[in-house]
A and B are shown apart, each in its own frame.
Chain A
Amino acid sequence: MSVSGKLLDVQHVTVEFHIGGLMGGTLLTAVNDVSFSLDNDKPEILTLAGESGSGKTTLSRVLLRDLEPTRGKVLFEGRDLSAIRKRSEFNEFMKKVQPVFQNPFETFSPLRRVDAYLFDTAVNFGMASNRRGAVKVVDDALHNVGLSLDEVRQRYPHELSGGQIQRVSVARALISKPKLILADEPVSMVDASLRMEIVNLFQKLRDEQNVSVIYITHDLATAYYISDRIGIMLRGYVVESGPVEDVLERPAHPYTQLLKESVPEPAPKERESWAKHIALGTTEVKEYGRIGCKFAGRCPHVMDICRKADPPDVQVGQQTVKCYLYSEDAEKSAAGTGH
């Protein structure tokens, strides 16, 4: 059935939203022509990084079949997600693709005990026929994240720390033995002293359980720490992608460069240069509606052509960069502008 040996194959996915009333209103392209794939036999951690409004969360909802793409398609193990119609098919899909959400205190209902979700998952996905039979499945999943059933049995979310709940959340996702986990900002609301254990957990899952992880974040430092590949998103586009060392150590796209430079280094080494004056836009910039490169309004290397048409994807070393700086058409037109 699987044609390509690909676990996940995202092909030219575009998501448009109508904003405003029946009449008028604007079309907002939240995700724009995004393509990437994950290999079936080589589990990896892929980061989708971007700031608010970059479309990373919308994309994650498409991958979870929570949202239909306007154009393009997503194949999971060779099967088009839009072909999933029946409840049983959706269950089969969910067994293999599981989410981990951002806010640990919202992941589980404050009025229910957290272990109930683990048992529900085990029973619903046929990992056990009843609650009693699920004890071992649940306990195993909890052991994978460094907890045990005794620690979480009968506990309400507020009785656990953010780090513990987030581990329970990962354990819940692991119960059905998935092949892919989508983690949307899983550590941004977890305390610093507990954060790295969650991050390390994803690495462990990749290495020991052969689970691929799509890690969605705005935090480039943890992205660098755990991921194999990274895609930098800006206003719906993936503007730069490639192995994480290449993209973050030698960013090619001017936007990635700006992002990397803006991340404060956690050491008082470059205090003076980091706090030097940078220009910020005054008003809400309408970058979505802009024709051509969305970064043109802020780019220090902007050329005329950047405002005319979408930049092509150019291979620069190991990275793929959506920028005219590295394309041949630009060199031709740049000769005329003298910029």
Chain B
Amino acid sequence: MISIVRDLLKYDGRFRLAVIFLGGVAAMILLSYNSPYDPGKSFVVPWDLPPSQQYIFGTTSRGQDLFWWLTFAVRNSLFLGVLTAIISRVIAILVGLTAGYRGGWLDRVLMSLNDTFVVLPLLPILILLGFLLRERMSLFYLAVILGLFGWPFDARLIRSQVLSLKERSFTRTAIYSGSSGFWITIHEHLPFVLPIVFATTINNILWSIGMEVTLSILGLSDLTTPTLGTALFWANQHGALVAGIWWWIAAPALVTIVLFLGLYLFFTSINEFIDPRTRLRLIGG
């Protein structure tokens, strides 16, 4: 494991950059646990101060230190993204592998369910749910809801991969070795499917964080929780741009970009590494 990281650091520029970006994000997340201020409280520092040595990202019109506030925001947004990705990946893998390997009526049922989710208009549904849940809407519920909506495209991708793997001789070898369908799926097919899962994880995290920003700007998420989205919501509420408090918009935007770029570079680099073809080249194929 350590040698893999060392090799990636040494030979992949993207990975180095990703480590720097994600390292910054990780540092912010760690710092949030030592924050001098409670993010739920306002007017703890002088308001509307531009970035300075004392207040790196400046302060907001609500009298909060933007840097410390954003450490919580990035932590919460990342938590939301990762939780969404985990939920939707589990569903996508289960549905994709099962539909692909079992085929027949199960495949048809799962794929019609899949297509139903694809055609559902997500944003109106989320807005509706946002109104209905209103008080109870928390980051956790949002992650679950997004997770339940975020799997269908990837499940179909996994299914098609399995369909082609199923036709290859080694699947038949496994069958005539007496292995069960479930066993074949896990041992023979999953290693080929994992790169897809990895590649789609990043998309899913970014999509989920983006969705939260959209909902927050509309005021439909839990506005008391600091996230990258609610940062923008409050900035808007206070007319930050009109009032010339540009840092209130710029700082969350910068953190978001660093987070997105870091995740993107990290996953493309890892993805190339775990690609079966690269692995084959590595083991000398």
Contact = CB atoms under 8 A, between A and B. Distances in A.
Interface of A: 64, 66, 87, 91, 94, 98-99, 101-103, 106-112, 117, 120-121, 124-125, 156, 158-159, 169, 172-173, 176
A102 B178 CA distance: 20
Given A110-B280, A111-B191, A103 B169 contact: yes
Contact of A106 (B170, B177, B188, B285): B170
Interface string B149-180: 00000000000000000001110111011111
A101 B179 contact: no
Contacts of A124: 177-179
A110 B176 contact: no
B188 A112 contact: yes
A91 B178 CA distance: 6
Contacts of A156: 283, 285
B108 interface: no
Contacts of B180: 87
A107 B177 contact: no
23 contacts: A66-B172, A94-B178, A99-B172, A99-B176, A102-B169, A103-B169, A110-B276, A111-B191, A111-B276, A117-B173, A117-B177, A120-B174, A120-B177, A120-B178, A120-B179, A121-B178, A156-B285, A158-B280, A158-B284, A158-B285, A159-B284, A169-B173, A173-B176
A64 B188 CA distance: 21
Contact of B169 (A66, A98, A106, A120): A106
A183 to B, nearest CB: 13
B173 A172 contact: yes
Contacts of B173: 99, 101, 107-108, 117, 169, 172
A231 to B, nearest CB: 23
Contacts of A120: 174, 177-179
B134 interface: no
Interface of B: 168-170, 172-174, 176-180, 187-188, 191-192, 276, 279-280, 283-285
Contacts of A98: 176
Nearest to A123: B178
Nearest to B177: A121
Contacts of A173: 176
Q: A103, A110, A158, A173 — which one has the most chain B CB atoms within 10 A of its CB?
A: A110
A102 B168 CA distance: 11
A109 B176 contact: no
A101 B177 contact: no
The 7 A-B residue pairs with the shortest CB-CB distance, nearest first, are A124-B178, A106-B169, A158-B285, A121-B177, A109-B170, A101-B169, A120-B177
Contacts of A158: 280, 283-285
Nearest to A101: B169
Nearest to B277: A110
A64 B283 CA distance: 34
Contacts of A106: 168-170
Contacts of A117: 173-174, 177
Contacts of A169: 173
A1 to B, nearest CB: 23
Contact of A107 (B170, B179, B187, B284): B170
Contacts of B172: 66, 99, 101
A176 B284 CA distance: 32
Q: A103, A106, A125 — which one has the most chain B CB atoms within 10 A of its CB?
A: A106
